[in-house]
Structure 1
Amino acid sequence: MRKTDGERERRPVPSAILFDRDGTLVADVPYNTDPDLVVPMPGALQTLRRLRALGIACGVVTNQAGVGLGLIAEHELRAVNARIEEILGPFDTWQVCPHAPEDRCECRKPKPGLVLAACRDLGIRPEDAVVIGDIGKDMEAARRAGSRGIMVPTPITLRPEILDAPTVAGDLSSAVMLALGAELAHSTRLDPGAPPLGSAA
């Protein structure tokens, strides 16, 4: 049964949380080549700070077909990703699929390649990772890899994708609270100067 962000269940604490990039960590700017257009999603910085305080690895798994389509140069992609780290802090692993859909690669979501590569890079089992994203491809990649998926829908998310998602959260903070469990999410080991996950900043 699909879980909503109002439901809780005890699960092992994940070793890592892997985030989709566009629409999840930062606002979705199609084929973005301009670092100045990087805008973090609400609560993203606070959420990542809390995860890092807990010692939970944070990674990015992102399709960037614009590279394969010739719409984004590799140096432009690197510049945008560097800007994301300037704003949100360093990530423990970046896994990027630069291929166009017609390339039939093994890394492009919904295939599990990015998730599996992130887990190898971090030295963890896929079942010890949680994938947070905004569309069905993110959830399918998590499922195929053997990881847990949590969807944070945006206006572009299709309703059938929301209905099919294993777990749905209203925002990024709530998604991480679901991944960690409410007790850990409110732990005093987190940044004492920040409000609990799921509360208004």
Structure 2
Amino acid sequence: MPDWMATHMKLLILDRDGVINEDSPDYIKSPDEWIPIAGSLEAMGELSRAGWSLVVATNQSGVARGYYDVQMLNRIHTRMYKAANEAGGHIDAVFFCPHGPEDGCDCRKPLPGMIIDIARRYHMQPTDCIMVGDSLRDLQAIAAAGGHPLLVRTGNGESTEAAGNLPAGTLVFDNLAAVARHLLTHEPMRSAPTAE
């Protein structure tokens, strides 16, 4: 078990598409297109019941591209919140980047802006943060913040793993359920953080 697993706060940052729900090359543009990955909601329920705070950090360039607006994105996230709640889980917050690749923001993964913002809101050091992602940019974002990257093989995860070049220390799991089993087996001693 890595030493950091025994000492970090119980906050888990999750990418959305490909980790919690099925990804789509055509973007998730409506609540009906948001389809949970088998076992992901149950895993979130187990983590929530064990005292973990779950925060979603997601790039949503579909807003900048005009595929959907922030109101529609909020409706999609309402469906996600409800689905997680029905499985006994609680999503503490959703952080999203609405910008496109050319917009020059600092929040779009692989930049670490969202991770740093989450750490600040939860009174944590970015180096104590853990993020689960399926794409290299997720892993690069948490690594750039000094935190701990976990790759799942769902979504784009298998191709990300096959391509190599993962940040140092990346742990690889089949899916979010496997991440939950691992974290709950190596239960840290510190309590969940609270946001401002």
- What residue in structure 1 maps to residue 144 of structure 2? 144
Give the whole-Å Cα distance in 2 for the aligned partners of 1:161 and 1:96. 26
Secondary structure class of the residue paired with 1:138: helix
AA aligned opposite 1:70: G
Select the residue among 163, 185, 194 that pairs with 1:182.
185
Q: Is the 8 A contact 1:132 1:150 kept in 2?
A: yes
* 2:23 equivalent to 1:16: no
- Matched position secondary structure for 1:132: strand
3-state SS of 1:59 partner: strand
Please list every run of 5 or more consecutive structure 1 residues that lacks an aligned counterpart in the other structure.
Answer: 1-7, 186-201
In 1, Cα distance between the equivalents of 2:14 and 2:132?
5
Q: Is the Cα–Cα contact under 8 Å of residues 162 and 168 in structure 1 kept in the other structure?
A: no
* Contact 2:55 2:92 (8 Å CA) reproduced: yes
In 2, the alpha carbon distance for the partners of 1:162 and 1:76 equals 35
Note if 1:94 corresponds to 2:97: no
Contact preservation (8 Å) 1:110, 1:138: yes
Tell me by how many angstroms 1:161 deviates: 4.5
TM-score, normalised with respect to structure 2: 0.82
- Compute the displacement of 1:106 (Å): 0.1
Q: How many Å separate the matches in 1 of 2:28 and 2:186?
A: 38
Q: Can you give the 5+ residue segments of structure 2 that lack an aligned partner in the other structure? A: 189-196
2:127 matched to which residue of 1? 127
Pair 1:111 & 2:111 matched: yes
How does the TM-score come out when normalised to structure 1?
0.80
Q: Distance in 1 between matches of 2:123 and 2:131?
A: 16
Give the distance between the partners of 1:108 and 1:155, measured in 2 at CA.
19
Any conservation in 2 of the 1:42–1:172 contact (CA below 8 Å)? no
Identify the match of residue 36 of structure 1 among 32, 39, 42. 32
**TM-align CA RMSD:** 2.0
